[in-house]
Amino acid sequence: MADAESACSATYRDVVIDFSNGSVFKLNPASPQELGPEVAPLLVPGEQVVACFKAVRDFVVFTDKRLIAVNVQGMTGRKKDFTSLPYSKVQAFSIETAGTFDLDAELDLWFSGLGKVRLEFKGSADIRGLGQMIAGFVL
């Protein structure tokens, strides 16, 4: 039984985005008009896209209810993994602004049942505004 449980959790970890590897997510601000249609089929009635950020292939969409991380897979990029992280499960969060030598900003979110999720943003991202937005949804 223990072998079946570990095999199941290993499979789950392979499918879900590896948020502990921050280098996967060096996010730049992106247009909601560009990325919103990618997640539109996943949205519940009344849910709205608030902000979008894109790496080379992967991207993150913040709605007024959750964070949706999209991991583009394969050579063609047709296969995508959508991970939905509801704000209702956020226990704590922190932001780290860009500095003089460290030009990247970071957002850490602690989710109940999942642990810490870290997203790294290019210095051009408004990390303070993002933190304020998340506070409005979480607090």
| Predicted local confidence at residue 102, as pLDDT | 67
27-31, 55-59, 98-102: least confident range: 98-102
pLDDT in tens, 58-98: 999 999 999 999 998 888 888 999 999 999 999 999 999 88
Whole-model pTM: value is: 0.80
Confidence of residue 26 (pLDDT cuts 50, 70, 90): confident
C-alpha dihedral (62, 66, 67, 73), degrees to nearest 10: -110
Residue 22 clears pLDDT 50, i.e. is over it:
no
- Four-way CATH pick for 3-136: 3.30.420.40, 2.60.40.10, 3.30.470.20, 2.30.29.50: 2.30.29.50
